[in-house]
Amino acid sequence: MAGFDINDRSSWNWVNGGEVTCELSWDQDEYHLDPESAVHFYQCSNGVPHRQPCGPGMVFNPRLMVCDHPQGNSEAEIYDWAVKIGQVAPDQR
């Protein structure tokens, strides 16, 4: 396996091996980072995760739970956020 690269999500130490699981009630919106791509995200519907694309030139902003312009959405900040909420194991840097 290649070493850790903050800009390569496949090198992050994802909890559950990067498998996306829906944990909230079926009637609640739930969104997750895509372990492989900044331009995709997972949206849970009836307890099932569905991979969704962002529009052209957009990336998923997990802090706002929307697709957003890439400015101000650095992978380092997103990595720190993912660690904080437990999607990624503590700091690999």
The domains of the chain are located at: 18-85
Q: What is the pLDDT of residues 73-84, one digit of tens each?
A: 788 889 998 998
pLDDT interval class at 92 (50, 70, 90): confident
Is-above-0.85 flag for pTM?
no
The DSSP code for 23 is -
Q: What is the pLDDT of residues 33-47, one digit of tens each?
A: 999 999 999 999 888
Region 18-85: CATH code: 2.170.140
**Gap between the Cα atoms of 87 and 93, Å rounded:** 16
Structure tokens at 44: 């849970």
**Which is it for strands 48-53 and 40-45: parallel, antiparallel or unpaired?**
antiparallel
**Gap between the Cα atoms of 93 and 80, Å rounded:** 11
Rounded to 10 degrees, the C-alpha dihedral 64/67/73/77 comes to 50
